[in-house]
């Protein structure tokens, strides 16, 4: 527990502390023995500036015993708790220990609640307002940092509230994503596609898949080169959730829209990672979170439960 | 020729060699004699008034709940019709400032009125003294009882007194806790012996403090602990009403026969009966002038007026007067005119303005609060339909006791619209966080940060709040 660089400092602090406490006691003892001259006008006899006199208004004796009590209390405290240099105290108390005890206590207290959640399916949980309220708080603390507090993500961070899924949107798949994490990987494909001109044509073709504004002539030229992409994204460009290949035929652009954005990705590839939560969250928490995320895009049927 | 001294040199006279007193003294118990009269009646009126409020308020209901309840766990303070949130802390600040100003004002006008008549220390000491008097008798009887050797009678009396004291103290502790836990629940918990640990602790703690302060410490709290006595001189001036002995009239003091003609004696009006010392709850002799121990309770005024009656002398040998009035032998009207002096007028003006402002702000208070926080993750995003979106978290706090439906709108940018659910339902006294998405058409605003305004209003249109935020447009 010692945070001292050298043992000397531990002794130094301990000695200073004890000298301070004993010094207070000595001072108290000395003042308690001091006698003031008894005078009829009840002053100490000191006179300043001609006529300023100090009145003698003694403290009650029980007050002095309070001081003695504080000294005894301080010594007992230093025996029980850490305070004397590196000495950890007889009670072995530490902030870390208290934190761990509090966490263990909270876990024990929440165990029955989570046991109830774990016994239900994701579909049932999505219709349970209480479970969703707990799920929302978990989401806010653990997921919202990347996916946003409304779960709709932002550039590079997928929207969890729509029905577009990179790796599948069933509760089981979401649970798998949460537990193990995901690593989406698109290799640089420039060489496979062809010349820079070919790459631009492919980009135009990709834009055409979702029916957005595009150059139809170049898109037509790019179509034949798309075969290099079809291995993962499919001939129709609708992607493959088994390997996490995005659907290119919808109007959802996780890494940016437009020719330049697509050309960049084709040339440089893309690695995007969702970290595994298995070590951070308990299984019951992951189960509840999966249900919450599933419920975001499957509201209507579950609400009837 | 000697050089004139530039500065007068004042020698410090050293203290004589120590012989006598210690810096600490053994506590001398004070046995205040019972007193009746004008000011004693006032004091009992204040005891009754303050304690009726303190003991009674937790039992007062307001609709379905306790009228005054400080629910610390839920962080809601209920004050009659109001539901206060932690965000309403300003009202507590206002109350404290108003209390401090009132104290300054009363002190400037009439000294330590608070101490002598309304301070809990005085009030509970008065109640405990009353019990003591009923059980053990008045001053002389109590002095005799304490001096007497151990006996069955002494044991019974002392025990009986302490049992009564503890009873009052515990009820006081219970009442204190009943401001934080509903009184009706608390008494049920108590009767079923199901009171929680913290409730028991605070009942005992507050009860013990009452027992100790009112039963034992008494005037020592005022003399050694309370800062008021020490800074009273900063608020007093020569026109402040203080309890004072009139030495010009009283001296030379001395005993005399009741039949003796005052004018024939070379004596003042003070018969030196020491009753003023015997009734004093802090054990001082008011005839020595203004002392920091004096709490202005006017017990000595009451008792001295009684003696003056018996002697056939005029009242007011000890009276509420001012230093100026005493020195100038002013009549009462002249003295009272001095009340309207700048210090008093300034305090009154401050106090009046503050009270009006507090009252006005309570009247105009919206039973709805909104806090806008920009989303922590997404600065800005482009969504389907070529629109630019910002996300906010709104904390909507319902300070009414009914479920409310609030409508959220936003203004400040062309085409700014709420894309998420614009209506939010919040339960009674609850607060809810909702994610709100705002959108503008892409390209309709320049890159940068644009100030916008959220407006949240209830269905009736009575309660509405506007909150500032910003909308970010990326480059």
CATH label of the domain that carries residue B451: 2.60.40.10
pLDDT in tens, B326-365: 998 898 898 889 899 999 999 999 999 999 999 999 999 9
Reported as a pLDDT band with limits 50, 70 and 90, residue B8 is low
Q: Tell me if B124 is assigned to some domain.
A: yes
User: Nearest CA to CA, how far is A171 from chain B (Å)?
Assistant: 23
Question: What mean pLDDT is reported for chain A?
Answer: 89
Res. B5: pLDDT tops 70: no
Angstrom distance (rounded) from CA B176 to CA B205: 10
| pLDDT tier, B183 (very low <50, low <70, confident <90, very high otherwise) | very high
Q: Which residue from B12, B23, B391 is facing A36, i.e. has the nearest CB?
A: B23
CB A57 within 8 A of CB B21: no
Asked if the Cβ–Cβ distance from A58 to B23 is below 8 Å, we say yes
B387 and B467 fall within a common domain: yes
- In B226-291, which residue ranges form alpha helices assigned H by DSSP? 228-235, 247-250, 275-279
Q: Please report the pLDDT score of residue B265 as a whole number.
A: 80
pLDDT at A300: 52
Query: Does B113 lie in the same domain as B243?
Result: no
CA distance B293 to chain A (A): 11
Nearest residue to B382 (alpha-carbon basis) of B289, B294, B473, B282: B473
Test the B interface: residue of A57, A60, A142 with most B CBs within 10 Å: A60
Alpha-carbon gap, residue A275 to A278, rounded angstroms: 9
Name the fold adopted by A185-274.
Cytochrome Bc1 Complex; Chain D, domain 2 (1.10.760)
Cα B437 from Cα B422, distance rounded (Å): 9
Chain A interface, best mutation among B7, B8, B11, B22, by max A CB count within 10 A: B22
Mean pLDDT of chain B: 90
B393 with A32: Cβ contact below 8 A = no
Return the pLDDT at B20.
Answer: 62
CATH class of the structural domain A103-181+275-302: mainly alpha
Interface mutation vs chain A, best among B9, B14, B15, most A CBs within 10 Å: B15
From B94-103, B221-230, B449-458, the region with the lowest mean pLDDT: B221-230
B22/A contact by beta carbon, under 8 A = yes
Interchain contact A35–B (C-beta under 8 A) = yes
Q: Cβ A36–B20 below 8 Å, yes or no?
A: yes
Q: What is the mean pLDDT of residues A235-259?
A: 89
Joined tokens for residue B51: 């304690």
Residue B385 and residue B409 in one domain: yes
- Position A48 scores a pLDDT of 84
A155 and B24: CB-CB below 8 Å?
Answer: no
Quick one: pLDDT band at residue A14, thresholds 50, 70, 90? very high
Q: Touching check for A64 and chain B: CB below 8 Å? A: yes
- How confident is the model at residue B229, as a pLDDT? 82
Compute the nearest-CA separation of B22 from chain A (Å): 5
Is the pLDDT at B317 greater than 60? The verdict is: yes
Task: Specify if B359 maps to a domain.
Answer: no
Of B101, B98, B102, B106, give the one whose Cα is nearest residue B240: B106
Burial status of residue A209 (CB atoms within 10 A of its CB: 0-12, 13-18, 19 or more) = buried
Number of domains in chain B: 3
Domain boundary among B209, B232, B255: B232
Mean pLDDT score, B378-398: 88
* Res. B11: pLDDT tops 80: no
Residues in Cβ contact with B168 at an 8 Å cutoff, skipping those fewer than 6 apart:
B127, B128, B131, B210
Query: Do B381 and A155 lie within an 8 Å CB cutoff?
Result: yes
What is the least distance, in Å, from the CA of A143 to any CA of chain B?
10
How far apart CA A302 and CA A122 sit, in angstroms, is: 9
Domain-embedded: residue B13:
no
Of residues A1 and B363, more confidently modeled: B363
ipTM value > 0.95: no
A35/B20 touch (CB, cutoff 8 Å), yes or no: yes
Question: Does B419 map to a domain?
Answer: yes
The model's confidence at residue B387, banded by pLDDT at 50, 70 and 90, is confident
Q: Distance, in angstroms, between A140 CA and closest chain B CA? A: 10
Interface test with B, best of A148, A157, A160, A274 (most B CBs within 10 A): A148
Peptide bond into B252 cis (omega under 30): yes
* Residues B305 and B414 grouped into a single domain: no
pLDDT at A17 over 50: yes
For B74, the token pair is 């839920």
Give B406-431 pLDDT, tens digit per residue. 999 999 999 999 999 899 999 999 99
Residues of chain B with C-beta less than 8 angstroms from the C-beta of A68: none
Question: What are the tens digits of pLDDT across the range B49-107?
Answer: 999 999 999 999 998 899 999 999 999 999 998 999 999 999 999 999 999 999 999 99
B1 pLDDT higher than 80: no
Provide the whole-model pTM.
0.82
Residue pLDDT, tens place only, A92-142? 999 999 999 999 999 899 999 999 999 999 999 998 999 999 999 999 999
CB distance B232 to B107 below 8 Å: yes
Q: What is the mean pLDDT of residues B32-56?
A: 95
Point out the domain boundary residue: B232, B250, B284.
B232
Alpha-carbon torsion (B264, B266, B272, B276), positive or negative: positive
| B125 within a domain of the structure (yes/no) | yes
Whole-number percent of chain B with pLDDT over 70: 96
Tell me, yes or no, whether B462 and B414 share the same domain. Answer: yes
Rounded-to-integer distance, Cα B376 and Cα A149, Å: 7
* A-chain residues near B22 (CB < 8 A): 32-36, 58
What proportions of chain B, in percent to the nearest 5, are helix, strand and coil?
45, 20, 35
Q: Looking at the complex, does the CB of residue A217 fall below 8 Å from at least one CB of chain B?
A: no
Residue A155 is predicted with a pLDDT of: 85
Residues of B in contact with A148 (CB under 8 A): 375, 377-378, 391, 435
Does some domain include residue B469? yes
Shared domain check, B227 and B267: no
The residue-averaged pLDDT of B26-34 equals: 89
Is B10 in CB contact (< 8 Å) with chain A?
Answer: yes
| CA–CA distances in Å: residue A81 to residues A4, A6, A14, A94, B23 | 17, 21, 13, 8, 34
Chain B residues touching A134 at Cβ < 8 A: none
Q: Is the pLDDT of residue A54 over 90?
A: no
- Please state, for a pLDDT cut of 70, what percent of chain A lies above it: 97
CB B377 to CB A149 under 8 A? yes
Quick one: what percent of chain B has pLDDT higher than 90? 74
A192-224 pLDDT, tens per residue?
988 999 999 999 999 999 888 889 999 999 999
* CB spacing of B21 vs A152 below 8 angstroms: no
* Total residues belonging to chain A: 305
A252 contact B CB<8A:
yes
Confidence of residue B400 (pLDDT cuts 50, 70, 90): very high
Which whole number is the average pLDDT over A66-81? 94
Q: Is the pLDDT of residue B24 over 70?
A: yes
| Burial group, residue B108, by CB count within 10 angstroms (0-12, 13-18, 19+) | buried
Name the residue range of residue B148's domain: 38-232
Helix, strand, coil percentages for chain A (3-state, nearest 5): 55, 10, 35
Confidence check: pLDDT of B15 > 60: no
Residue B443, pLDDT score: 83
pLDDT at position A302, please? 41
Of all residues in chain A, the one with the smallest CA distance to B393 is A149
Do B257 and B306 fall into the same domain?
yes
Contact B22/A155, CB-based, under 8 Å? no
The whole-number pLDDT of residue B10 equals 60
Q: Is A38 on the interface with B (CB under 8 A)?
A: yes
pLDDT at A284 over 70: yes
Local confidence band at B4 (pLDDT 50, 70, 90 cut-offs): low
Interface mutation vs chain A, best among B16, B378, B386, B421, most A CBs within 10 Å: B378
Checking if the pLDDT of A305 tops 70, the result is: no
Q: Hey, is the C-beta of B437 within 8 angstroms of any chain A C-beta?
A: yes
In the stretch 192-231 of chain B, residues with CB closer than 8 A to chain A read 220, 224
Residue B414 placed within a domain: yes
- Say whether pLDDT at B318 is over 70: yes
How far does the CA of residue B351 sit from the closest CA of chain A (Å)?
36
Q: Which residue of A has its CA nearest to B435?
A: A150
- Calculate mean pLDDT across residues A278-296: 93
What pLDDT does B230 receive?
82
**In A119-215, alpha helices (H):** 122-126, 129-142, 144-147, 171-180, 190-193, 196-209
B315 and B374 together in one domain: no
A157 inside 8 A of chain B by CB = yes
Quick one: B199 and B246 in the same domain? Answer: no
Please report the pLDDT score of residue B93 as a whole number: 95
> Is there a domain that residue B261 lies in?
yes
Inter-chain contacts counted by CB atoms under 8 A, chains A and B: 112
Given a cut of 70, whether residue A7 has pLDDT beyond it is yes
* Residues of chain B found within 8 Å of residue A257, distances taken between Cβ atoms: 382
**Strand, helix or coil at B267?**
coil
pLDDT of residue A303: 41
Q: How far apart are CA A298 and CA B233, in angstroms?
A: 74
Closest CB to B435: pick one of A31, A64, A149: A149
Interchain proximity B384–A64, CB inside 8 Å: no
In this prediction, residues B133-146 reach a mean pLDDT of 93
**What pLDDT was estimated at residue A59?**
83
Q: Which residue has the tokens 């006032």?
A: B42
Task: Give the pLDDT score at B121.
Answer: 95
Q: For residues B78 and B214, state if they share a domain.
A: yes
A155 touches chain B (CB under 8 A): yes
- Residue corresponding to tokens 């509201």: A299
Q: Same domain for B272 and B221?
A: no
Residues B298 and B381 in one domain: no
B23 → closest Cβ in A31, A145, A253: A31
- Indicate if the pLDDT at residue A2 is higher than 70: no
């Amino acid at each position: 527990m010692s945070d001292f660089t050298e043992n000397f400092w531990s002794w130094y602090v301990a000695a200073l502390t004890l000298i301070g406490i004993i010094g207070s006691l000595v001072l108290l003892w000395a003042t308690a023995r001091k006698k003031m001259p008894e005078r009829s006008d009840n002053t100490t006899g000191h006179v300043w500036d001609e006529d300023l006199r100090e009145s003698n208004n003694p403290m009650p004796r029980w007050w002095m015993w309070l001081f003695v009590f504080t000294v005894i209390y301080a010594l007992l405290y230093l025996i029980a708790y850490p305070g004397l240099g590196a000495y950890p105290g007889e009670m072995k108390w530490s902030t870390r220990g208290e934190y761990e005890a509090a966490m263990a206590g909270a876990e024990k207290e929440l165990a029955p609640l989570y046991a109830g959640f774990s016994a239900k399916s994701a579909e049932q949980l999505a219709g349970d307002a209480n479970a969703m309220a707990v799920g929302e708080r978990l989401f806010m603390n653990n997921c919202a940092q990347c996916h946003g507090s409304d779960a709709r993500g932002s550039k590079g961070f997928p929207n969890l509230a729509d029905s577009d899924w990179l790796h599948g949107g069933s509760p089981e798949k979401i649970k798998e994503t949460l537990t193990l994490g995901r690593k989406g990987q698109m290799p640089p494909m420039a060489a496979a596609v062809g010349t820079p001109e070919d790459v631009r044509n492919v980009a135009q073709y990709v834009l055409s898949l979702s029916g957005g504004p595009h150059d139809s002539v170049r898109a037509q030229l790019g179509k034949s080169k798309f075969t290099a992409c079809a291995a993962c994204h499919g001939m129709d460009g609708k992607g493959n959730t088994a390997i996490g290949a995005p659907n290119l035929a919808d109007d959802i652009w996780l890494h940016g829209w437009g020719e330049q954005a697509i050309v960049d990705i084709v040339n440089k590839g893309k690695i995007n990672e969702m970290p595994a939560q298995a070590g951070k969250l308990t299984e019951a928490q992951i189960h509840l979170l999966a249900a919450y995320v599933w419920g975001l895009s499957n509201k209507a049927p579950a609400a009837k439960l | 020729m000697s050089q004139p001294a530039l500065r007068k040199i004042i020698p410090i006279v050293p203290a004589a060699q120590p012989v006598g007193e210690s810096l600490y003294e053994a506590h001398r118990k004070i046995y205040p004699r019972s007193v009746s009269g004008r000011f004693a009646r006032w004091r009992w009126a204040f005891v009754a008034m303050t304690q009726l409020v303190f003991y009674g308020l937790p039992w007062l209901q307001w609709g379905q709940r306790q009228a005054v309840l400080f629910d610390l766990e839920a962080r809601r303070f209920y004050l009659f019709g109001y539901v206060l949130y932690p965000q309403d802390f300003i009202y507590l600040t206002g109350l404290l400032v108003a209390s401090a100003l009132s104290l300054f004002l009363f002190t400037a006008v009439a000294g330590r009125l608070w101490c002598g008549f309304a301070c809990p220390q005085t009030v509970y000491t008065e109640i405990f003294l009353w019990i003591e008097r009923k059980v053990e008798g008045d001053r002389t009887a109590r002095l005799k009882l304490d001096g007497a050797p151990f006996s069955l009678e002494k044991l019974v009396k002392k025990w009986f007194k302490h049992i009564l004291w503890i009873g009052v103290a515990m009820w006081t502790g219970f009442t204190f806790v009943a401001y934080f836990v509903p009184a009706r629940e608390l008494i049920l918990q108590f009767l079923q012996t199901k009171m929680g640990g913290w409730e028991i602790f605070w009942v005992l703690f507050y009860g013990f403090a009452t027992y100790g302060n009112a039963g034992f410490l008494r005037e020592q709290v005022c003399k050694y602990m309370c800062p008021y006595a020490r800074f009273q001189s900063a608020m007093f001036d020569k026109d402040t009403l203080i309890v004072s002995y009139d030495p010009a009239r009283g001296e030379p003091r001395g005993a005399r026969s009741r039949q003796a003609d005052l004018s024939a004696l070379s004596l003042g009006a003070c018969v030196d009966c020491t009753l003023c010392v015997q009734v004093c709850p802090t054990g001082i002799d008011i005839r020595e002038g203004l002392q920091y121990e004096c709490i202005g309770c006017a017990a000595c005024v009451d008792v001295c007026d009684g003696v003056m009656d018996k002697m056939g002398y005029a009242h007011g040998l000890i009276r509420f007067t001012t230093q100026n009035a005493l020195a100038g032998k002013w009549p009462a009207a002249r003295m009272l005119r001095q009340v309207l002096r700048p210090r008093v007028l300034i305090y009154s003006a401050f106090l009046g303005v503050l009270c009006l402002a507090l009252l006005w702000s309570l009247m105009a208070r919206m039973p709805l609060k909104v806090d806008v926080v920009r989303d922590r993750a997404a600065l800005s995003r482009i969504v389907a339909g070529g629109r630019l979106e910002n996300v906010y978290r709104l904390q909507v706090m319902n300070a009414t006791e009914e479920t409310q439906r609030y409508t959220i709108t936003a203004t400040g940018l062309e085409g700014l619209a709420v894309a998420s659910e614009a209506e939010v339902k919040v339960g009674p006294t609850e607060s809810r966080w909702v994610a709100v998405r705002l959108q503008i058409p892409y390209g309709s605003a320049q890159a940068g940060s644009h100030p916008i305004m959220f407006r949240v209003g209830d269905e009736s249109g009575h309660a509405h709040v506007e909150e500032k935020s910003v909308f970010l447009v990326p480059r």
